[in-house]
Amino acid sequence: MRRLRPPRRRRPRARPAAPLTLSPDWQLWIADNLLAGAPLDELLSTLLRHGVPRPEIDAQLSAIRASPAFLAAQRHVRAARRLDLVARLHQQLDATRSLPRAVERVAGLDAESFFDRYYATNTPVVLTDVVTAWPAFGRWTPAYLKERFGDVEVMAAFGRESDPDYDLHTPALSRPVRFGDFVDRVLAAGESNDLYLVANNRNSDRDGLRALFDDVTLPEGWLDPARLQGSTAFWFGPGGTVTPMHHDTSNILFGNLYGEKRFLLVAPWDTALLQSTRGVYSLVDPEKPDLERFPGFARATVREVVLAPGEMLFIPVGWWHHVRALSLSINLAFTNFVRDNAFDWFRPGER
């Protein structure tokens, strides 16, 4: 149930001779709290305390309750509450697992088992023997990438630390740079979130980096090799880079070839994160959550995964994830699954 919080900007003025004089802010406040199921006596006491005469309160309540827009909103609220019960069911059942915060690590998984046990059930999993079978594993180091692809022009984001919304503003922060020069800058940066070669730079689609895939062996029956173009992502950056909490609209296989990355994962049915969103991003920082501003996050189940070199994380569609590089890292990810992976409609945080 929603807390009764009156509007900040304008207070109602009592005008006994002219009913229905409350400001639009207050009318919205009344409708919002009625829809949220706030106790009527608390609503009345708040309005009286702010100087609204009882006759005007009664007139406003009658007018709002009879409004066709309010009646339509009630139907939508009832539908949303039914869906919320479905989410709560998943939350409660998920919490009964013996290790509710754990993400399974497996090896020797065939395609059918992967799709049935994890893909179709929207369950994250760490695969320990996929990346280790690639020629790239052990070969892709900063020195190797500089030697092999140093003259290739890539796009990379710079000045991230000066922009609080750096991930949203990746296109504006990105500029071309020789890959070899970028490697040198990363090595010199130490721990930093200021420069990063990220997925949205689309470097894995560049002709000059296409030879990267000569070092990759796709797991048989999982990914469609004919759809590599536009379905892969390459990351290279120093320790200290952070991707804020967000969800994607597709399933992802995230391979870790060098360094370590820590993922903080929250299931899509954990609706606390939907109370504070900007598109596919959550405003909550799970590393240091502001529980006064986002009290619902205290009930969220956060799963932590530290991805070691040679491990691959399956990130199911819709799962919130926050990513921190614990050291200089090199990563390659895929979305070209042979099964349906078109979920662009899944954007519950958009209004």
Residue 264 falls inside a structural domain: yes
Q: Kindly report the backbone phi and psi dihedral angles of residue 245, in degrees, each rounded to the nearest multiple of 5, phi listed first.
A: -60, 125
Distance CA 282, CA 278 (A): 6
The total number of structural domains that make up the chain: 1
Backbone φ, ψ for residue 22 (5° rounding): -65, 145
Task: Report pLDDT for 351.
Answer: 63
CATH, residue 131: 2.60.120.650
Q: How far is CA 59 from the centre of its chain?
A: 44
Token output for 142: 């900063």
Would you say 321 and 350 are in contact if contact means Cβ atoms under 8 Å apart? no
* Residue 79 is assigned to a structural domain of this protein: no
Burial of 196 (0-12, 13-18, 19+ CB in 10 A): buried
Half-sphere exposure of 303 (CA within 13 A, CB side): 25
159 assigned to some structural domain: yes
Predicted confidence at residue 87, as pLDDT, reads: 85
- What phi and psi, each to the nearest 5 degrees, are found at residue 91? -60, -50
Regions of the chain with pLDDT less than 70:
1-20, 351
Residue 78 lies in a domain: no
Q: Show the domain range for 122.
A: 101-334
Say which residue the tokens 């990563």 belong to: 331
Question: What are the start-end ranges of the H helices in the chain?
Answer: 24-36, 40-49, 54-66, 68-94, 111-114, 142-149, 170-173, 179-189
268 in Cβ contact with 247 (< 8 Å): yes
Q: pLDDT at position 18, please?
A: 46
**Looking at residue 205, what is its pLDDT?**
95
pLDDT score at 1: 43
pLDDT at 5 (0 to 100): 66
Asked if residue 293 is part of any domain, the answer here is: yes
73 domain residue, yes or no = no
- CA torsion 272→277→281→284, rounded to 10°? -60
pTM: 0.86
Question: Is residue 177 one of the residues assigned to a domain?
Answer: yes
